[in-house]
Amino acid sequence: MQNPPPIPTGLRGRCPRCGEGHLFQGFLALRPSCAACGLDYSSFDSADGPAFFVMSIVGTIVVGLALWLEIAYEPPIWVHALVAITLSVGLSLLMVRPLKGMMVALQYANKAEQGRFQK
């Protein structure tokens, strides 16, 4: 059995081994294991990786839009605040789950694990 491609599988929130079972239980919590193939999810830890990518991508979009908005329309500060807060929260919530799924799937595909010192 060949593993499914990690990026689309992770973005869809599916099991990195079979591509069938759901990866998430709730919004960001991983299930204990895959219901379809039994893969144990307890060893996966995406840590702050998804948050870093979300902040980088959303920050670039929001700052770019704020600059364009200021140059093109010169709106009052409350318009900037409304647009920035709405976009920051909305895009962050939209992106964090798929990116976390992708990070978990890439960990599985690349057999990533905790670093160890050799003696």
pLDDT tens digits, residue range 56-99? 999 999 999 999 999 999 999 999 999 999 999 999 999 999 99
Identify residue 108 by its one-letter amino acid code.
Answer: Y
Which pLDDT value is given to residue 1? 62
pLDDT band of 117, cuts 50, 70, 90: confident
Mean pLDDT across the chain, nearest whole number?
A: 94
Helical packing angle, 77-109 and 49-73, nearest 10°: 150
pTM for the model? 0.90
* Residue 35 vs residues 17, 39, 40, 41, 61: alpha-carbon distances, Å: 12, 8, 10, 11, 37
The domain limits of the chain are 6-109
* Residues 6+ positions from 14 with CB-CB distance below 8 Å: 4, 20, 21, 22, 23, 101
Which pLDDT value is given to residue 23? 96
CA angle, 73 as apex, 71 and 74 as ends, to 5°?
70
Which pLDDT value is given to residue 116? 76
Q: Residue 95 is encoded by which pair of tokens?
A: 């992106």
19 secondary structure, DSSP code:
S
- 118 pLDDT more than 90: no
Alpha carbons 104 and 11: distance in angstroms, whole number: 10
- 119 pLDDT more than 80: no
